[in-house]
Amino acid sequence: MKRTITRLAGVASVLLMTTQLASAEGNLSLYNWGDYINPELIDAFSKEYSVDVTLDTYSTNEEMLARIQAGASGYDLVWPSVHMHDIMQKLDLLQPAHPNEMKGWENIDKGAMRSHEDPNGDYCLPYAWGAVGILYNKEQIPELTSWKEFFEYGKEHPGKITMLDDLRETLGVGLIMNGASVNSRDPAEVEKAEAYILEQKPNIAAFRYDVIPLVTSGDIAAGHYYVGGVLNVLQNPDLLGFVIPEEGATMYQEDVCLLKTAPNPDNAKLFMEFLMRPENAAKNSERLTNGVVNTAAVDLLPEELKSNPSINPSPEVRAKLQIFEDLGKDLRIYTRAWDRIKAN
Amino acid sequence: MAFGKTADSRRRQGLVLLLSPVTLLLGVFFLIPLGIMIVYSFLEPGLYGGVEWNWYPYNYGRIIGWPLNDYETFEPIYLSIFLGSVKIALLTVLVSLLICYPAAFWVSRMSEPRKSFVLFLITLPFFANLLVRIYAWLLLLRPSGFINMALESLGLIAQPLDMLFSSFAVIVGMVYIFTPFMFLPIYANVEKLDFSLVRASQDLGAPPVQTFLRVILPLTVPGIAGGSIIVFIPALGNFIVPAFLGGSKVQMTGNLIERSFLQSRDWPFGAALSLLIMGSVVIIVMFQVIRSTRQNRGAA
């Protein structure tokens, strides 16, 4: 008898759970870079539309692509970089979400329409952009303005600088230092870039993404890093600095895209529209310290962000920023160069 | 007669029933993925990950240093990375062996309650996440870390030592992770070592070195071999330690495999490299099997 009661209770609780799930307005599943959205936005959206939002994260475009290609289903929105947006659209992994017909589209900076495949915004919504520069410890380097100074410091203090563990970013610096395009397909130019990085390698402590704690503690004096590091600079302005080197730098931009297999396309579109509200775009940027693609949000930003030369660079600096393009098969030139850098 | 048959077939039925879950598990989660890997390693890499279904033996050629096409010239960089990984894995085995061998004797001589407490301590690290533990080493080894601070305050060094992001740090991290795997087989072996044989050798006038080399060492070879293999195999394919403590400057084949899948979008090359590691592991395990069967035959 007792057993029957327990069993009944179990059945009842299962039933209760299903009814609870059914009473929610639905689900939304996000697959984004780590630390690349203000969590407050997710909570606010979840409350406003009573939608259960889940967030999974990845750390490289290729990782995300590999999982989607391997058939990872259940995700609605992804945040590919522009060149990956192009690839995914070519591979027919996306469906048009028509953000260009949504409320708030008029605020999107048309300069942020960087995708070749999607020039009018039929598929994806530009999200945020930023430069890749140098984060440095001011106690060790009072001022840093260029890659040249960065590498010279490394020569004098071997083991005190780091570069990103990313073949295109780090070879990209080598290309910039040789005056070439970061999208060069010329093996001779890439070879020169490889030689440049190899020359610096004995002075480079590590190829690493996670450098903020090491720069803050002073174990590393300066690290090749994303503009997102400005968040830490603003919290600790006397200790840390961030600079877009004067020789030029790479930049990135991510777009929010709706997957073809998305189980909740309607909620996903609601979320895109929600992201376009200027107050939300501003709130997001405060957290990410990235460049804003929403012109109406710029005015809502705190002064320290609006006037920051790394987040909101002048037109002259912007002109020196290069964005990665998909190289197709020619990526092999870079892979081989990078493997050689790593092996020697 | 008829009765015997039914009992026999019933036993067979029972055996099938008992073994089918294991077979299914191994089949689904080991053999099928292995098969996919083997097939992929002979296919052409797709432009954006995945594979093109064309016969393509060059993935293996690349490992040996063969030029793939106009992008490359002959240069055995992947082979040198592989040999470097073998070296690091062997050093890991050697250092953990040097630590665990005496420790096993020490622990086996302890009283029962202390023994179980020490064994508990040895398995304790498994309760914490591996990444957290590796990160802790990063904090210990960095220039402003605990070890440098301690050495500096003792006046032993004037400048912080550059320990982090080096082969040294990688080996420290690997030894740290794999020590329990070395310790347990050796301990199990030493624990049941018959010490009367050691005493007999001493009574017969053998000097300590000879007792060790001719009595103790041969008797503990199975433990040493087992521990070494269990450490060597995962050490060879490890990629987390070189990425964290080697600062991705120290390269192992594991890092190359990870990069093939996650950065260079070359799955077949990653599959070929994985099979290279598996192949070397199989060879080592075969040696061990041959050795132990020969030993058993000798004993019988």
CATH of the domain at A87: 3.40.190.10
* Mean pLDDT score, A243-254: 96
Nearest CA in chain B to A334: B264
- Within a domain: residue A152? yes
* Mean pLDDT score of chain B: 89
Do A222 and A281 fall into the same domain?
A: no
ipTM of the complex: 0.84
Mean pLDDT in chain A? Answer: 90
Averaged pLDDT, B219-246: 93
pLDDT at residue B300, as a whole number: 52
Mean pLDDT over residues B123-145, rounded? 91
pLDDT in tens, A145-184: 999 999 999 999 999 999 999 999 999 999 999 999 999 9
In chain B, residues with a C-beta closer than 8 Å to the C-beta of A335 are 263-264, 266
Whether residue B48 lies within 8 A of chain A, CB to CB, comes out as yes
Answer yes or no: do A19 and A51 share one domain.
yes
Domain identity same for A232 and A147: yes
Q: Is residue A336 part of a domain?
A: yes
pLDDT in tens, B252-300: 999 999 999 888 888 999 999 999 999 999 998 898 888 888 877 766 5
Residue A137 lies in a domain: yes
pLDDT value, residue A22: 39
User: Is A309 within a domain?
Assistant: no
The answer on A338 and A221 residing in a single domain is yes
pLDDT on residue B294: 84
Whether residues A184 and A328 fall in one domain: yes
Helices within chain A (DSSP H only): 2-23, 39-49, 61-69, 82-90, 147-156, 167-177, 187-200, 212-217, 230-235, 265-276, 278-288, 295-298, 303-306, 315-319, 331-343
Clarify whether residues A62 and A105 are in a common domain. Answer: yes
Q: Is A159 on the interface with B (CB under 8 A)?
A: yes
* pLDDT score, position A1: 39
A142 in the same domain as A122? no
Instruction: For residue range A17-34, list pLDDT tens digits in order.
Output: 444 443 347 899 999 998
- Cβ of A205 within 8 Å of Cβ of B164? The answer is yes
Residue of B123, B92, B282 whose CA lies nearest to B187: B123
Kindly report, residue by residue over A272-319, the tens digit of the pLDDT.
999 999 999 999 999 999 999 999 998 899 998 988 999 989 999 999
Selecting from B77, B145, B265 the residue whose C-beta is nearest the C-beta of A343 gives B77
Tokens of A334: 């870079």
Q: Are residues A264 and A197 in the same domain?
A: no
For residue A338, tell me if it sits in a domain: yes
Partners of B247 on chain A (C-beta within 8 Å) are 162, 205-208
| Banded model confidence at residue A11, pLDDT cuts 50, 70, 90 | very low
Residue A14, pLDDT above cutoff 50: no
Say yes or no to pLDDT of B42 above 90: yes
A312 assigned to some structural domain: no
Same domain, A294 and A323: no
Token digits of residue A36:
């690349």
Q: Is A142 part of any domain? A: yes
Q: Does A63 touch chain B (CB under 8 A)?
A: yes
Query: Mean pLDDT throughout B61-68?
Result: 79
- For residue A12, what are the domain limits? 2-127+254-303
Indicate if A260 and A236 belong to the same structural domain: no
Q: How many domains does chain A have?
A: 2
Q: Which of A203, A297, A283 is nearest to B249 (CA)?
A: A203
Name all domains of chain B by residue range, CATH numbers in brackets: 40-45+52-299 (1.10.3720.10)
Question: Do B48 and A187 lie within an 8 Å CB cutoff?
Answer: no
Residues A54, A117: one domain?
yes
Nearest-Cα distance to chain B for A206, in Å, is: 4
Residue A220 and residue A146 share a domain: yes
Q: What is the dihedral of CA A116, A120, A121, A127, to 10 degrees?
A: 70
- Distance, CA of B264 to CA of B47 (rounded, Å): 10
Separation in Å, CA of B145 to nearest CA in chain A: 9
pTM: 0.85
Residue A136 lies in a domain: yes
CA atoms of A306 and B106, how far apart (whole Å): 66
pLDDT digits (tens, 9 = 90+) for A54-105: 999 998 898 899 889 888 889 999 999 999 999 999 999 999 999 999 999 9
